[in-house]
Amino acid sequence: MLCTLSQVAALALMVNAASAAAVTVPDATYAGATSSDSFPPKSTSVNSKQFPGEEEVGFPGPTPTGAEAAAAQTAPLYPYNTGSAKSFPLVAPQPHGSSAFGDNFDMTKYWGNLSPWYSVSSADYGLPDANPLIPDGCTINQMMLLYRHGARYPTSGAAPSIFASKIANATKGEGFNTTGELSFLSTWTYKLGAELLTPFGRSQNFQLGVEYRQLYGELLNNFTAQHALPVFRTESQDRMVKTAENFAAGFFGVPEYMSEVNIELLVESTNVNNSGAPYNTCNNSNIASRGSIGSTVATKFANNAFNATLARLNSEVSGNLTFTPTDAIAMLQLCSYETISLGYSAFCPLFNKQDFENYEYYYDLAFYYNQGPGSPVAAAQGKGFLEEWLARFTHTIPPANSALNETFDNSSTYFPLNQSIYADATHEVVLLDTLTAFNFTALFAGPPLNYTVGNEGTNTFVASKLVPWATHFTTQIMTCPARNQTKQIRFLVNDAVIPVSASHSGCPVDKDGLCPFDTMVGVLQKRAAEINFNYDCFANYTAVPGVDYNGRAPH
């Protein structure tokens, strides 16, 4: 029932991959490796034949470009630098009902998966004393990073462009008139592209690369000792290629990254296996009664969440135009997208604090039930990366029983098993699927999200904390001789250390979130074996909201 890349075997990116009958794993050299050479090792070079570029791989997806930003012309306030480390967005207006210099409400943290990533506190998940830096007495040996692309334009045919068409159509015939805070709408035009990274999005991935070079650059010594270059992975969509390139540019420098890292592009297309895009081979992913129940309940919630604001906005427009709950979500998304793309959006001040809190909860519902524990397919979709994680750290070939691509994962060229640094780019839905597959229940602690009365604050899950632009999931593997501990492991999401003692049997309660490496590997091997990709993705069953399925289909 699984699909393979056989139908596109002629692509250059597959040269020599399918013929790899066995993989020889050289001894791994980790922290403490020394060499007379600095990185990159002498006489190494990027192999453009085995790792072809974007033009040769193809499958870029849609690539329409939007209008250039003009915040100097359109913004009501100049973005003075107040000395804060945060430099985005250029202009962040206060919500409706607040003074421009009043409550200082940060609406960008209420945009769900459209929020720019920000550091999350470990205390949010029950580890108030944990720090993302390596604990005293421990030494970092390996690091694995799974990260999302930075801010992009809306996907093709998304709500903002539909809203723009509605406004354009409303100008026909008798047209419409606006007053007050909606006056701008009479001359507003849609300026967003589709799919591509925005300038801010490119900077996010570049800055993430800089940050991870500063945090983990010493691990490059191991590549020098092995006389090898890293292999970083991404998908073939244009924004994903640019994501990996910008991350690599931040990590290695420009133009150094072009000669210091092999970037592997995995085809993202319907019916092609890819752990970074598993929804393409999981049939139940987009069925309303299975993998898309979150989209359904989020829409139901939105139908009554913005009534007061819609009444106010509809009082300021007359003629051939009436705003609906669907329009409220579209205008809130325009607030998010225009801000990240153009530097400012006049849609943001139309909505109050409660609206933005409901906007966040709209996304909380969608992601909890589409890619979190309330989804029957989330664990199956995250299984591919879980098994690749296990393969990398146990030096084995991953099994072909999920959406991972066996053609590549059976080749030491494309799936090396001895790297001290791994960096894979993906989409936010896949990253959340992965967290669900790993069974990090601390991220979802509490009852299933209530989709009828709104946010009751009884669950730790918040979409903007886990799936924002450039979100990242980090594995740290270390030794801690000063603490009389064996090889240890822990996990971070956007700088928050994830506790695992309650969800991963045998892991002790530890203030730093550490767990013995062998214990964690055993627990995750059992979890992977329990996830039935074929059943969850292809069986005929019905899932309902309000249930914590732990990411698995009901049986």
Write down the pLDDT at residue 249: 96
The DSSP result for 373-442, as a single string, is TT-SSHHHHHHHHHHHHHHHHHT-PPPSSSSS-HHHHT-TTTS-S--SEEEEEE-HHHHHHHHHHTT-GG
Domains of the chain: 103-153+195-306+351-555 (3.40.50.1240)
Write down the pLDDT at residue 500: 98
CA-to-CA distance for 527 and 542, rounded, in angstroms?
A: 23
The lowest-confidence range among 40-44, 60-64, 172-176, 487-491 is 60-64
Q: Report the 10 Å Cβ neighbour count for 225.
A: 18
> Does residue 66 surpass a pLDDT of 70?
no
Give the SS3 label for residue 346. Answer: coil
Largest Cα–Cα distance in the chain?
Answer: 79
Write down the pLDDT at residue 3: 41
- Return the higher-pLDDT residue of 59 and 475: 475
- Return the higher-pLDDT residue of 59 and 329: 329
Express each pLDDT in 363-408 by its tens digit.
999 999 999 999 999 999 999 999 999 999 999 999 989 999 988 8
The lowest-confidence range among 3-12, 246-255, 311-320 is 3-12
Supply angle C-alpha 363, 203, 425, rounded to 5: 60
> Does residue 15 surpass a pLDDT of 80?
no
Q: Report the 10 Å Cβ neighbour count for 362.
A: 24
Query: CB-side exposure of 168: number of CA atoms within 13 Å?
Result: 8
Write down the pLDDT at residue 49: 79
- Nearest to residue 217, comparing CAs of 31, 479, 395, 417? 31
Q: Report the 10 Å Cβ neighbour count for 218.
A: 13
Sorted by sequence, the CB contacts under 8 Å of residue 428 that are 6+ apart come out as: 113, 148, 467, 468, 471
- Return the higher-pLDDT residue of 332 and 68: 332
Would you call 358 exposed, middle or buried from its count of C-beta atoms within 10 A (0-12, 13-18, 19+)? buried
Token pair belonging to 129: 């004393």
> Does residue 339 surpass a pLDDT of 70?
yes
Write down the pLDDT at residue 104: 73
For residues 219-223, average pLDDT: 91
Cβ atoms of 472 and 481 closer than 8 Å: no
Token pair belonging to 27: 């001894």
> Does residue 77 surpass a pLDDT of 80?
no
For strands 231-235 and 262-266, give the pairing.
parallel
**Length of the chain counted residue by residue:** 555
For residues 471-482, average pLDDT: 94
Q: Report the 10 Å Cβ neighbour count for 484.
A: 7
Question: At 363, which helix (H) or strand (E)?
Answer: helix 353-370
Express each pLDDT in 424-443 by its tens digit.
999 999 999 999 999 999 99
CA-to-CA distance for 491 and 496, rounded, in angstroms?
A: 8
The verdict on whether omega for the bond into residue 516 sits within 30 degrees of 0, i.e. cis, is no
Q: Provide φ and ψ at 125, rounded to 5°.
A: -115, 15
> Does residue 512 surpass a pLDDT of 90?
yes
- The CA–CA distances, whole Å, from 144 to 120, 219, 225, 228, 493 equal 19, 11, 19, 17, 12
For residues 74-87, average pLDDT: 47
Rounded percentage of the chain residues whose pLDDT exceeds 70? 87
- The CA–CA distances, whole Å, from 255 to 211, 225, 259, 260, 481 equal 18, 23, 8, 9, 39
- The CA–CA distances, whole Å, from 202 to 364, 470, 484, 534 equal 26, 10, 43, 36
CA-to-CA distance for 67 and 342, rounded, in angstroms?
A: 8
The verdict on whether omega for the bond into residue 230 sits within 30 degrees of 0, i.e. cis, is no
CA-to-CA distance for 79 and 415, rounded, in angstroms?
A: 45
Mean pLDDT (the chain, rounded): 87
**Residue 147: strand pairing partners:** 425, 472
Write down the pLDDT at residue 78: 43
Residue in the block written with tokens 């000063």: 482
- Nearest to residue 432, comparing CAs of 443, 442, 422? 443
pLDDT tier for residue 89 given thresholds of 50, 70 and 90 = low
> Does residue 305 surpass a pLDDT of 60?
yes
* End-to-end Cα, the chain, rounded Å: 19
- Return the higher-pLDDT residue of 205 and 173: 205
CA-to-CA distance for 223 and 291, rounded, in angstroms?
A: 41
> Does residue 263 surpass a pLDDT of 70?
yes
Token pair belonging to 428: 């936010």
CA-to-CA distance for 351 and 325, rounded, in angstroms?
A: 13
CA-to-CA distance for 148 and 146, rounded, in angstroms?
A: 7
- Nearest to residue 150, comparing CAs of 48, 249, 286? 249
Write down the pLDDT at residue 44: 81
Residue in the block written with tokens 């896949």: 430
Give the SS3 label for residue 290. Answer: coil
Write down the pLDDT at residue 153: 97
Orientation angle between helical segments 517-530 and 378-394, nearest 10 degrees: 140
